[in-house]
Amino acid sequence: MQGLLVAGRYRLADSIGSGGMGRVWRAHDEVLHRSVAIKELTAALYVSESEQAILLARTRAEARAAARISHTAVVTVHDVLEHDGRPWIVMELVEGRSLADAVKEEGRVEPREAARIGLWVLRALRAAHTAGVLHRDVKPGNVLLGRDGRVLLTDFGIAQIEGDTTITRTGEVVGSVDYLAPERVRGHDPGPSSDLWALGATLYTAVEGRSPFRRTTPLTTMQAVVEEEAAEFRHAGPLAPVITALLRKDPATRPDASEAEQMLAEAAEGRRPSGAQAYVPTQYGGTRPYQEAHSGTGPAGTGSVGTGPAGTGPVGTPSASHTRTPLPPLARTPAIGTPASGTPAAGTPAAGTPTGRPTMLGRTATGPRQSGSGRRGRLRTLALVVALAAIIGGGTAVALQQWNDNRQTPGAASGSTTPKSTEVPGGSVPDGWTRRDDPAGFSLYLPKGWKRQLYGPQGELKQIDYTPDGGRHFVRIAVDTSPDFADPYAHQLDLEQQLQRLVDYKRLTLKRNVYRDRNGALWEYTWTAQAKDTKFPGPRRAIEETYVARDGTEYALYMSAPASDWATARKQFTSLLQGWQEKTSS
């Protein structure tokens, strides 16, 4: 089939992978003149007509699932088409190999590298779960390792989309048996924790070089998944307790995505995650939930691991899981040193997130939050918080109203040079600015005429933009009620790693500060936005103030504008900070 022209557009080159359901080809898009990957559903050649309809429905579901997820760690689906009566999927081409191939070729993966890989897969899963999509087939073969250091999750072919009727038949088990969570083997409906189980099994395979539950037959393998524990670790190092936590049989006792991300971030730095130890059975046979171990509120006499070495762990530090307060601070360096993969697609909302955010989403790739190390789970990872990635497209940063804000109004005395101002609790704002009480609960002052719009999915992480000109200038407010970092400075450092892919990225400022009597961090940088990513290409500049309020909510106030307008934009940002009021309890 090499050389075949599919759909009059895609010229097949060489086969780069195959599996039970199909074969993946490297191909050339002769319309857009770019390399792509095409998945050929070979299974359609061997099934009945009725089964072909189901296969086609699954293929379309895969495309829909992938299309709902905006994150740089998820392989982009470009098109779905039919050729020779079979469905084909056109995807982003990732030059590299799968994690399964890496394990096969090298025997196993070093623990810190496996933790880094796990972080990106977790970010992709958080983005998917936030979009209402369960992957249901996380395994080493579906984790791609790009030659440029990127890690991407692919093959949403059996994904389940929230609200859709399942296309699998009653009683049918889908997914690779080795990586099915116990609850799925028992026939229960899967949830986000089922994907996390599969991630744990995938990481076990990566560091130990073998599947944790594979036996001689599918039936005995499923029995092992339900009844047996994984064989003792020999090479997992600091990753061992994290994998143990993810592989707990009861989904209710597994860590959530936010906790898992925190643990993986520590393991990626070569540290043994203290929080993960709370999930590991002790000599007394008991365990204690991660959040209780860190808050000191767990029941007495549980026979569980304490709150840290010699009882000096982060006692009293709130957990990020269910209390909606920040996790204990991570190291003040990025959790991983690999830039986020991918770049924002054209037409992305107001900010061309590389997501997020790192647009990634936490702030996602370029946004102030990313689907980040601790936040990866909440989508900042979509986190995507302020979606710094958005900056690429110039989507949300503070837009500068009319560039006359500080000028006199018609008829004003020609000698007047000092603009009037309005006193507000945080200082003063230019006269003529109006207070906006946002539905998200906060309030701010802006020039008249700025329009509100939502950026990305709205869950625990909300991102709201205000712009006077469709995104050329904009302000983005990110509100994360369950942040992954307790330290705004560490969060921004982590996000910066994801922005290294921006053309001409240059840090101007990234420092700790105090804002509204709370520890904060101020970050300012420049880059060159590309025409393929935004309607407003050219040199841009952005600034962000991030802080964690007393109730544990993280706020990121972000502004972006063309570099040529920065003198005005910077003054407006100061006024924005002075007039800002966070949500108060009712």
Check if the beta carbon of residue 465 is closer than 8 Å to that of residue 458. no
Q: Which two tokens stand for residue 144?
A: 């791609």
DSSP secondary structure letters along 530-541 = -TTT-SS-EEEE
- Which residue in the list 29, 137, 155, 195 is annotated as catalytic? 137
Q: Enter the tokens of residue 423.
A: 């006193």
Tell me how far the alpha carbon of residue 541 is from its chain's centroid.
Answer: 23
446 closest CA partner among 545, 541, 564, 569: 569
Q: Is 480 a residue of the active site?
A: no
Residue 335, token pair as written in the block: 């959790």
**b/e map 315-347, b = 16+ CB within 10 Å:** eebbbbbeebbbbbbbeeebbbebbbbbbbbee
Q: Cβ distance 154 to 144 under 8 Å?
A: yes
State the DSSP string of 503-568: TT-EEEEEEEEEETTEEEEEEEEEEEE-TTT-SS-EEEEEEEEEEE-TTS-EEEEEEEEEGGGHHH
The phi, psi pair for 38, rounded to 5°, reads -125, 125
Nearest alpha carbon to residue 563 among 487, 504, 495: 504
Helix (H) or strand (E) segment spanning residue 477: strand 474-480
CB atoms within 10 A of CB 104: 12
Distances in whole angstroms, Cα of residue 524 to Cα of each of 340, 477, 521, 540: 19, 16, 10, 11
Provide the annotated active-site residues.
Answer: 137
